[in-house]
Structure 1
Amino acid sequence: MVSELRRSYAAVVTTESQNGEGTSTGQQAGAASNQNPMNQSAMQRSDEVDEPMYLHFSENPNLALVSPPLTEINYASWSRAMKIALEVKNKFGFVDGTIVKPGVDDPRYPVWKRCNNIVCSWIFKSLSSTIAERVLYFEIAADIWNVLQKRYSQVDPHRIAEIQNEIYKCTQGNLSINEYFTKSNALWVQLKAMRPVPACECVPRCSCTLMSKIQKEKEEDQIIRFLEGLNEEYENIKAGILVMDPMPIMEKVLNMALKMERKLKSSINLKSIDLTQANAIQNVVIPSTDEHSVVAAGISNNKKKFNGNSGKNIPNCTFCGRTGHTVDKCYKKHGFPPGWVAGYKTKNKQTQDAQQFNPSVSQVSDTGLSAEQFQKLLTLLQG
């Protein structure tokens, strides 16, 4: 096609040179002939990509398109994920039968076989090892898909009962609102896949809204179970939503629960901040209170120490005018005891030292002798 366009362009140029006419019409034709090959090649590449039998050079037969692989209990979710992956690669027609196998003599047969084999390889890589062994020897992708659908898409009453029990036992606990909703919604999706809403079979199809009402009731059941599984902190939301008529959709209920969760978290954070501040203030006040108590106790002890005799009658000497002794024991009148040290101010200590020096000194005033006379008497007795 490109060579033909080039030949036409050469023919135009040759014709113009022979006629000697460089008209504008010939120039426009030459420009158009230069642009058409690029546009046509781009359109050709687009058509090739849209072709189901087109294989890009980067396609890998060892690629696992979905995860987790197919097991005996997850066919609904696996088939949904696998269908999306094959449709993205424009290869779902090989498994649903819309791309028919051509004859062996058909020139398209090698291309179909290559695409069919890579689709089979993708399916094998997305199966568990035990299931892959059961379908390994099927050569057509559509046959593998149909066998898997017949074996594992059957409705299992025991599995339905298990999912229903899990739905009724599903509670929030320590989960956040988003985590709890994800867990609950996954169970409802599995249940819907096993027990889908029946479609209308009337011929011609009736115009009643029965199917939409059934779908609405199922959605309300999911909302009710979601609210019943919330913690006690969300009791206000439960009571508020359940009395609404009509009941809001699941997305609005989820948004209300998320707002309440943020409010509860903010109030908990404020309480924790207040508690921390209260503890900090208490830790500062308590040491100062103890310190004041110690100081007060010390002052009280000092007062008791220096004012211990405040409640008793203190003797007063009429000879020297000082307190603490009477005139009978006044040293200034009767004389100081031997060993007296001038400036030794503690009267109790003075008396104790004097008594240790001479035990009979304290008896001088009782005998009527002076200290000098008493000392001479002691010398005579000892001599």
Structure 2
Amino acid sequence: MVISWILNSLSKVIVESVLYLKTAQEIWKELATRFGQCNGPQLYQLQKELSDAVQGNSDIASYFTKVKKIWDELYALITFDQCSCKCICNGKVTTIKAHQDGRLIQFLMGLNNIHSSVKSTILMMDPLPTVGSAYSLLIQNEKQREVHMEAHPSQAAFMVTNQKYNNSGLKFNNNYQQKYGGNDGKFKGNFEKQNSGMYCTNCKMTNHNTNKCYRLIGFPPDFKFTRNRKTRYPAHSNASAVVTTD
């Protein structure tokens, strides 16, 4: 009966390689020898999935299930030595607590910014709670938010739209700010400098530098001014420009 259960759980190709073993113990040892070793590429893939895991448009329960599944797969691949000795320095307890805290931080990092207040509350706890306790607090906050949204449908529509925009544009905006600088005017100015490739420090304009700035070297005779004023500049001169208005 046990042999039948094991064989039915295997793929056809693997079954053919263990079909003639006589006992379930022999089959299990054979499979453990072949597939029980730590798989480096699979570990790498799981760690990458864990680092990229974010809540996005999912609810708390769906996001937690996704992260929990990766944790379980990692635990199945990594074999830990079970210590049976009596520890008097609490080293074992400290190690387990550090492992739990690491999982808690991983879980909180992937949450949307809408849960920032709850995340701050959890992180301020000393000692840090377990992942299960943090999950319970987040679920309660999510339920309260849903009740509030049902009572205020206009605010709910705004919050949903804003959350979708933040989720889709957060990574793009962060990359832009890291590449081109800060926000508002400074961000725009840095973007223009990077986008045009040239920037004049004299007139604060783009698409040329100080070597080709007409305000320094003089305007050409056929230059067409767009403003409603008569401007007289020495053509191709380094002299200072004189501006008169009617």
Would you call these one fold, judging by a TM-score over 0.5? Answer: yes
Query: Once the 2 structures are TM-superposed, how far is the Cα of residue 274 of structure 1 from its aligned partner?
Result: 7.9
What is the aligned length?
157
1:156 to 35, 39, 43: 39
What are the equivalent positions in structure 2 for 1:95-106 lying under 5 Å apart? none
Partners of 1:193 and 1:180 in 2: CA distance = 20
Q: Is the 8 A contact 1:197 1:211 kept in 2?
A: no
Partners of 2:74 and 2:24 in 1: CA distance = 28
1:188 to 50, 65, 71: 71
Distance 1:170 1:275, change over 3 A: closer
Letter in 2 for 1:252: S
Deviations 1:171-221 (A, max 9, x none): 11111111111110111112122224433376xx54332122111111111
Whether 2:138 is the aligned partner of 1:265: answer no
Whether 2:83 is the aligned partner of 1:200: answer yes
Q: What is the alpha-carbon root mean square deviation over aligned residues? A: 2.1
Query: Once the 2 structures are TM-superposed, how far is the Cα of residue 251 of structure 1 from its aligned partner?
Result: 1.5
Distance 1:264 1:275, change over 3 A: closer
Q: Is the 8 A contact 2:149 2:155 kept in 1?
A: no
Return the TM-score normalized by structure 2: 0.59
Query: Which residue in the other structure is 1:215 paired with?
Result: 96
Q: Is the 8 A contact 1:197 1:215 kept in 2?
A: no
What are the equivalent positions in structure 2 for 1:4-153 lying under 5 Å apart? 118-153=1-36
Q: Is the 8 A contact 2:150 2:156 kept in 1?
A: no
Tell me the secondary structure at the aligned position of residue 208 of structure 1: coil
Query: Which residue in the other structure is 1:176 paired with?
Result: 59
Query: Which residue in the other structure is 2:118 paired with?
Result: 237
What are the equivalent positions in structure 2 for 1:185-334 lying under 5 Å apart? 185-200=68-83, 205-272=86-153
Q: Is the 8 A contact 1:170 1:184 kept in 2?
A: yes
Distance 1:177 1:274, change over 3 A: closer
Whether 2:49 is the aligned partner of 1:166: answer yes
Tell me the secondary structure at the aligned position of residue 171 of structure 1: coil
Q: Is the 8 A contact 1:198 1:211 kept in 2?
A: no
Partners of 1:188 and 1:224 in 2: CA distance = 13
Partners of 1:265 and 1:274 in 2: CA distance = 11
Q: Is the 8 A contact 2:50 2:67 kept in 1?
A: yes
Query: Once the 2 structures are TM-superposed, how far is the Cα of residue 163 of structure 1 from its aligned partner?
Result: 1.0
Between the aligned residues of both structures, percent identity stands at: 32
Distance 1:147 1:232, change over 3 A: same
Of the two, which has the highest radius of gyration? 1
Partners of 2:156 and 2:44 in 1: CA distance = 48
Letter in 2 for 1:145: W
Distance 1:196 1:275, change over 3 A: closer
Partners of 1:259 and 1:275 in 2: CA distance = 18
Distance 1:221 1:274, change over 3 A: closer
Deviations 1:11-54 (A, max 9, x none): xxxxxxxxxxxxxxxxxxxxxxxxxxxxxxxxxxxxxxxxxxxx
Partners of 2:61 and 2:67 in 1: CA distance = 10
Q: Is the 8 A contact 2:55 2:112 kept in 1?
A: yes
Distance 1:275 1:199, change over 3 A: closer
Deviations 1:88-138 (A, max 9, x none): xxxxxxxxxxxxxxxxxxxxxxxxxxxxxx221111111111211111111
Letter in 1 for 2:32: Q
Partners of 1:242 and 1:196 in 2: CA distance = 30
Partners of 1:275 and 1:212 in 2: CA distance = 44
Partners of 2:145 and 2:127 in 1: CA distance = 27
